[in-house]
Each structure stands twice: as C-alpha cells, then as structure tokens.
Amino acid sequence: MQNPTSTTHEPDLPTAAEYDVVVVGAGPTGENVADRVVKAGLSAVVVEGERVGGECSYFACVPSKALLRPAAALAQARAVAGAREAVTGSPDVSAVLARRDAFVSDLRDDGQAQWLKSAGIDLVRGWGRLVAERRVAVRADSATTVLTARHAVVLCIGSSAVLPPVPGLAGISAWTSREATTAGAVPDRLVVLGGGVVGCEMAAAWSALGSKVTMLVRGEGLLPSWEPFAAAQVAEGLRGDGVEIRTGVAVERVAREKSTGVVTAFLDDGSTVESEEFLVATGRAPRTAGLGLETVGLAPDGRLLVDDSCRVTQVAAGWLYAAGDINQRSPLTHMGKYQARACAAAIAARAHGRRAEPAPWASWAATADHHAVPQVVFTRPEAAAVGRTEEQARRAGLQVRVVEYPIGDVAGASLFADGYRGHAKLVVDEQRSVVVGCTLVGPGVGELIHAATVAIVGEVPLERLWHAVPAFPAMSELWLRLLERYGL
C-alpha cells in the first residue's frame, strides 16, 4: 500500500510516522507478522526494546538446544557398536559454550536487524507503549517517536520468567532461563526449581556439562501436562545422568552465604539443599506491564483475549492484535510463527476490504492452536507430543481408543541405536477414526512427530493412513506397527 510517511519536529518534540501495520516486539512472532504483511503489499515497522530476534534466538530455544546437542550426539555415537569405540572422554565444555555463543551471535542482533531491512521492514529501537487507538509511542535515548497504524497494531512482546514468592529469592541472584542459557561457566552444583520443560532441559544440559543437579518439584513428577509414561522416562533418563529429582517438596526460603557464595534452599520437609547456582524454572507470564493497555480501555496487566486471527476481542474497531507468547494460547516459537502467519493474512485481507472471519482452517485462522500443537523436549531420551493426551481426549468427551508400541521393536530403531529404548502412544477418536494425539519418547523422536501432526491436522482416516507407507528400515515404520496394532 502507501509508503510510510514521517514528520520530524523540533528535537524535543516527538517524531511521528505512519505505517499500515505497527508491530511491537521483534521476536520470531513479530518478525513473521511484519514479513508477511509486507509481502502482502502493506508497509510495516517493528519496534524492539532489546534484540531483534527475541527471547528465542538469544536466551531460549537456540542456546538451550546448542547446550543440549553435544551430549545427545555423544550418546547417539555411544549407542552404536563400532562408533562407540571411537568415542572417548566427556564433552569439551569450552567448545560447547563457544558453539552456543556462536549460535546466539555473541548476543549481537546485527544479522537479524539486517534481515529486517532486506525484507523491507523498518525498525525503531526502544520500548513501545500504547498511547491511544492505533498509536504506539517509542522512547529511546530521551527521544520519543509516535507511530500510527493505519490498519493494525500487533503486540508480539512475548513473556518473561515468573519468580514465585519464595522468601529470600530476590537476594540470591537466582538464575532464570536467561542466565541458565547464557552462563559462561559450569556451576559445581545447580538446584533447579520446577519440573516443567525449562527445568528438565536445563537439568539435562548442565548435568551433561559436569554440574551436580538437584531438581525440586512440588508435584508428583516432571512434565505434569504430558502423558505419564513420557514424564517417567524423561525422569529416568535424567536420574541415569546423575540428576537428583526430589518430588513433592516446596521451598520455604532461600539464602546465599556471602563468604562462600553458596545458596541454601530450606525445604518444607525440614531438609536443605546447597548449590552454587539456583535456577527458577516455574513458568512464564506475558510482558504486558507498562504497555499502556489502559490507554485503550484494557486492564493494565490484564490477559489479552484474542480470536483465531489473534485480534484482541476486548477492543472495539478491531485494530489491535496480539500474537505469540503474549496471548498464552500456545507459547512456543513455531506456534508464535504460525499465529503470525494467520494474523498477517487476516490483517492484509481486512486492509483490502475483506471480512476475513476466522473460520476453522482458513489461512487467517490459527486453528491448529486448538488441535495440534507439537512440542519436543530435548532431553535424553527426547519426548515429543502433538494433540491431546489420552486424559485430555477423554475429558473432552471423545470416544477414545489408545494404541501403544515399544519403539525399540521397530527394525529402524534397533539399527539406529543398539538396545533402543522408546515408547509410542497414539490416541484415536473412534467416532471419526482419526488420530487426535500422539506421544513419543526415545532417541531422535523429535523428527518423527511431524507425521502425527500431519495426520491430526489432515484428519486423515486411519484406513487412508494405512496407505501412507513408511520407508524400510527407517524409524518411521513405527507408523505401520501402530496401525497394525490398532487392527488394520
């Protein structure tokens, strides 16, 4: 559409600029919204307060996987006779950290900023704040820029770690996922509070690099929203690597001894745990504080409710959107990028005068959020899931049938690793004869889960899935075995 217009006033007055779309936050979600609307012929500016690329690129997905991969590669080689003999020693810590640093570009965002430019997207650095309908003020270096959106403001500002109200926590320089993914040295001992995905992955990563890790978990086990067998096998893997997992415990207070730097956690069972570092991995919350939501009639720290096109339903006139972690629908990078594609399609369609009602599976509807959110936990063994667990499917009132299979019995798996251990569970909606959920645990299963995503999204009847023949001897022959066990 039109090119952005901009007016520069006296130095102490705000600079004003107008775009079709103003995106706040240049994480994976914001970058994709901007890219897609520009490709659709609209003008776009992205506002970023920290680094272009967001949490994912520097403090989350990328560095955590870079930390985890070397130990996984070693374990894979050690699982194959003939290769095992060539592998000696343990991971080279400084090489692992150097590779991690390279993956996060030493925390510099020049490359991603350059990509924005090459994609025709303007960048305004600074923290954005809503100041009125379709207006975002950005303050940086004592100057303020006011950006006006002709069609849409899209909030893609992500989430930040939640610190629970544990007495003493504020005074011990506790790690959050940011420190856990960027640390430059291996702590002798690390305590991890929380048994979710961050807790499990960081326990695996730092334990493999030589830290003595203790996980403090308030519930009965790890990964509470996963199939119990998957959580149990991840716990078994962590324990096998020397991680101590203490379940059913709460931390009453923490303190760091000044002279030694040692942190002591005092638990509700009367025991204590000491460590050099203490990682809080107890979930994340949207970064809505200070965003100026009240200036457009929303509660200042309130939850943003969105429809399937990510349009905020509490705001009249439909100009405000929220995509990615901020809307709490599916807080994962790939789902944020998916929402970005849907949201951008909706904005572009509406800008061109179409209603773009978010009907299920329309290109402007993030329908998969409700049915097929894949996730891989990169522990050893890996766990991968998509769709509903058996319990979730039953709670949803579906007529459920479950099929399970030991992945190690698949020829491809036994060739992949000697004595391969893994397990698969398929949840079938009997009424429609379609897969609604799948959970896999075992080495390399992260690469197998997409087949289940395709089956769920495509609502492929099992009788037709039968004709999707997996190659021999690949691990994906698991699909044949599952369908045979189902009775086909």
Ligand X SMILES: Cc1cc2nc3c(=O)[nH]c(=O)nc-3n(C[C@H](O)[C@H](O)[C@H](O)COP(=O)(O)OP(=O)(O)OC[C@H]3O[C@@H](n4cnc5c(N)ncnc54)[C@H](O)[C@@H]3O)c2cc1C
Ligand Y SMILES: NC(=O)c1ccc[n+]([C@@H]2O[C@H](COP(=O)([O-])OP(=O)(O)OC[C@H]3O[C@@H](n4cnc5c(N)ncnc54)[C@H](O)[C@@H]3O)[C@@H](O)[C@H]2O)c1
List interacting residues with ligand X (CB under 6 A): 24-30, 47-51, 54-56, 60-61, 64-65, 127-128, 156-159, 177, 181, 198, 287, 291, 324-325, 331-334, 336
**Residue 195 site contact among ligand X, ligand Y, none (CB < 5 to 8 Å, cut-off depends on kind):** ligand Y
Is residue 325 marked as binding? Answer: yes
Where helices occur in 367-448 by DSSP H, the ranges are 368-371, 390-395, 411-416
Where helices occur in 104-227 by DSSP H, the ranges are 110-118, 177-182, 197-208
Is residue 458 marked as binding? Answer: no
As measured in angstroms, the least distance from the Cβ of 166 to ligand Y is 7
Is residue 111 marked as binding? Answer: no
Nearer to ligand X, 65 or 401 (CB): 65
x/- string (CB under 6 A) for ligand Y, residues 200-239? -x----------------xx----x---------------
**Residue 306 site contact among ligand Y, ligand X, none (CB < 5 to 8 Å, cut-off depends on kind):** none
Nearer to ligand X, 156 or 440 (CB): 156
As measured in angstroms, the least distance from the Cβ of 121 to ligand Y is 26
Phi/psi of residue 272, each to 5°?
-130, 155
Is residue 200 marked as binding? Answer: yes
Single out the residue of 14, 30, 70, 194 in contact with ligand Y (rule: CB under 6 A): 194
Nearer to ligand X, 47 or 223 (CB): 47
Instruction: For 167-322, list the strands marked E by DSSP.
Output: 189-193, 212-217, 244-247, 251-256, 263-267, 272-275, 277-280, 284-286, 320-322
As measured in angstroms, the least distance from the Cβ of 195 to ligand X is 14
Is residue 197 marked as binding? Answer: yes
- Whose CA is closest to 409, among 473, 463, 362, 468? 473
Instruction: For 388-444, list the strands marked E by DSSP.
Output: 400-406, 423-429, 434-441
Q: Which stretch binds ligand Y (CB under 6 A): 23-31, 276-284, 349-357, 466-474?
A: 276-284
SS3 content of the chain, % helix, strand, coil (to 5): 35, 25, 40
Our finding on whether 389 is near ligand Y (CB under 6 A) is no
Is residue 201 marked as binding? Answer: yes
Is residue 283 marked as binding? Answer: yes
Determine the Cα–Cα distance for residues 34 and 18; give it in Å rounded to an integer.
Answer: 15
Single out the residue of 36, 51, 150, 284 in contact with ligand Y (rule: CB under 6 A): 284
Nearer to ligand X, 336 or 444 (CB): 336
Determine the Cα–Cα distance for residues 246 and 235; give it in Å rounded to an integer.
Answer: 11
Our finding on whether 59 is near ligand Y (CB under 6 A) is no
Is residue 254 marked as binding? Answer: no
Query: In the range 157-176, which residues lie near ligand Y by CB under 6 A?
Result: 164
How open is the CA angle 386-392-399, to the nearest 5 degrees?
Answer: 100
Burial label, 207 (beta-carbon count in 10 A; 0-12, 13-18, 19+): buried
Phi/psi of residue 288, each to 5°?
-85, -10
Q: Which stretch binds ligand Y (CB under 6 A): 111-119, 150-158, 280-288, 405-413?
A: 280-288
Determine the Cα–Cα distance for residues 367 and 239; give it in Å rounded to an integer.
Answer: 38
As measured in angstroms, the least distance from the Cβ of 485 to ligand X is 30
Alpha carbon separation from 258 to 201, 223, 261 (Å, rounded)? 29, 34, 5
Nearer to ligand Y, 91 or 331 (CB): 331
As measured in angstroms, the least distance from the Cβ of 64 to ligand Y is 6
* C-beta neighbour count of 323 within 10 angstroms: 34
Half-sphere CA count of 167, side-chain side, radius 13 A: 5
As measured in angstroms, the least distance from the Cβ of 433 to ligand X is 30
Helix 197-208 and helix 228-240, axial crossing angle in degrees, nearest 10? 20
Residues 6+ apart with CB under 8 A from 20: 1, 2, 37, 42, 43, 44, 149, 150, 151, 152, 351
DSSP 311: B
**Residue 27 site contact among ligand X, ligand Y, none (CB < 5 to 8 Å, cut-off depends on kind):** ligand X
Single out the residue of 196, 286, 324, 374 in contact with ligand Y (rule: CB under 6 A): 196
As measured in angstroms, the least distance from the Cβ of 175 to ligand Y is 12
Nearer to ligand X, 336 or 412 (CB): 336
As measured in angstroms, the least distance from the Cβ of 63 to ligand X is 8
Burial label, 220 (beta-carbon count in 10 A; 0-12, 13-18, 19+): exposed
CB 193 within 8 A of CB 281: yes
Determine the Cα–Cα distance for residues 293 and 277; give it in Å rounded to an integer.
Answer: 36
Is residue 195 marked as binding? Answer: yes
Query: In the range 323-382, which residues lie near ligand Y by CB under 6 A?
Result: 331-332, 375-378
Q: Which stretch binds ligand Y (CB under 6 A): 32-40, 189-197, 358-366, 433-441?
A: 189-197
Is residue 210 marked as binding? Answer: no
* Feature table: binding site for FAD: 65, 128, 325
Given the rule CB under 6 A, which residues bind ligand Y? 164, 193-199, 201, 218-219, 224, 281-284, 331-332, 375-378
Residues making up the annotated binding site are 65, 128, 194-201, 283, 325
Binding site, annotated residues for NAD(+): 194-201, 283
